[in-house]
Amino acid sequence: MSVYPAIDFLYLNEEDMIAAGVKDMKGCVDTMEEMFKLMKVGNYRMGGANGNSHGTMVCFPENSPFPEMPVDGPDRRFMAMPAYLGGKFDMAGMKWYGSNVENKKKGLPRSILMLTLNDKDTGAPLAYMSANILSAYRTGAVPGVGFKYFAPDNSEVVGIVGPGVMSKTALEAAFAVRPMIRTVKVKGRGKASLEKFIKDIKEAHPEVDVYGVDSIEEAVKDADIVSVSTSSPTGDPKQYPYIAEEWIKPGAIIETTAALRLDDDFLINRARSVADNIMLYEAWEEEYAPKAYNTVPITAVHVEDLIAEGKMKPEQLEDLGDIIMGKAPVHKKEGEIVIYSVGGMPVEDVAWGTVCYRNALERGIGTKLNLWTNPDLMK
């Protein structure tokens, strides 16, 4: 957009993002699959010395002598998530957000997110865009890639544990890759959120039977696909949502983007554990050892803990990219249960943000803003 030294960039508000196709779930699943292929050959970078960090978080103290400083609370943080993705994307960017549960009292979402895309050579901004919907859809599309590969072709029943935004987009991804789905069972904690979730799904998919259940066991039993996305206090794994092996249908996939507890014997001896990016979990293990699972409650983190303790072998945690690239079989045995961990990565935001940005350019969407015509410091 720019003819240097002048720099212009495109601003995309939420309505612009919708017009640019941010809610195209099938397209988002395809984009995430392409991203995984690039990641598998190493054509990406994220934060940290290892190039695989989830991001850098600003946390607040429990108490502060400064009256203006925020104090710790549920989801009270700021976070920067930078990345570069090569291939047809060839884009650098960073998602930045602030999060606070108290936002809901003000009619705001818990987290407010923005994504900046930058020229990989100069660092100049190319786009600054609303990223709440973008982040939600890429978060759902990553489970969708797992469903595409591991869920039975004739999947008809989905179990949802935690009827929030992440579960809603993961379910949309399931519909996109398994159109035979006809039943959705939902376990929630609050009546209002459960009823809204059911209402939204019925309106979008009137052909599907959607209803609430009273327990996680009911949600999991007979389900071909299970999606677990619940908010849970960290620190004590005994408090994480629990799924027993005997509840799980043979051949099912259990996808988790948040806290989940499974029996160690099951993980060690019978489950097939798959991660969206093994190196992300290795980075968490480095950062939070020796019990990273107490801080990051995703199943693959616990598997990394078990590997560190010598209870599992490193090869027992598989990388989704290896399956996509044909380096590992989609299924190793009949009736295997796949536990698929999704950690969330800034490279996903850059991938889907780049697609939406280029759509916006083609469709004439957004507002062009000027950073400078001539940088004052260069005069």
Taking only the tens place, the pLDDT of each residue in 119-133 is 999 999 999 999 999
In angstroms, the Cα distances linking 10 to 81, 137, 359 are 20, 21, 12
Tens of pLDDT along 211-226? Answer: 999 999 999 999 999 9
Q: Where are the domains of the chain?
A: 7-134+347-378, 141-345
DSSP, collapsed to helix, strand or coil, labels residue 287 as helix
**Rounded mean pLDDT, 296-317:** 96
- The residue assigned the tokens 């160690």 is 264
Fold equal for 7-134+347-378 and 141-345: no
Q: Considering Cα of 53, then 260, then 262, then 32, what sign does the dihedral take?
A: negative
Amino acid of residue 248: I
CB 83 within 8 A of CB 351: no
- Report the run of H or E that residue 341 belongs to, with start and end: strand 338-341
Q: Which of the four CATH numbers 3.50.50.60, 3.30.1780.10, 2.70.98.40, 3.10.20.70 does domain 7-134+347-378 have?
A: 3.30.1780.10
Q: How confident is the model at residue 74 (pLDDT cuts 50, 70, 90)?
A: confident
Mean model confidence pLDDT for the chain? 95
Tens of pLDDT along 85-137? Answer: 999 999 999 999 999 989 989 999 999 999 999 999 999 999 999 999 999 99
**Rounded mean pLDDT, 178-188:** 97
Give the pLDDT confidence score for residue 1 in this predicted structure. 57
- Which among 2, 58, 5, 47 is positioned nearest to 350, based on CA atoms? 47
Q: Residues 141-345: name the CATH superfamily.
A: NAD(P)-binding Rossmann-like Domain (3.40.50.720)
Give the pLDDT confidence score for residue 244 in this predicted structure. 98
pLDDT at 305 over 90: yes
Q: How confident is the model at residue 239 (pLDDT cuts 50, 70, 90)?
A: very high
Helix and strand numbers (H, E) in the chain are 11, 16
Length of the chain: 379
Please spell the DSSP secondary structure of 90-144, one letter per residue. -EEEEEEEEE-GGGGGGT--SEEEEEEEE-TTT--EEEEEE-HHHHHHHHHHHHH
In angstroms, the Cα distances linking 295 to 51, 60, 374 are 21, 16, 47
State how far the Cα of 282 lies from the Cα of 323, in Å rounded to an integer: 19
Give the pLDDT confidence score for residue 379 in this predicted structure. 79
Q: How confident is the model at residue 230 (pLDDT cuts 50, 70, 90)?
A: confident
**Rounded mean pLDDT, 367-379:** 94
Give the pLDDT confidence score for residue 11 in this predicted structure. 98
pLDDT at 70 over 60: yes
Residues facing residue 275 across a β-bridge:
319, 341
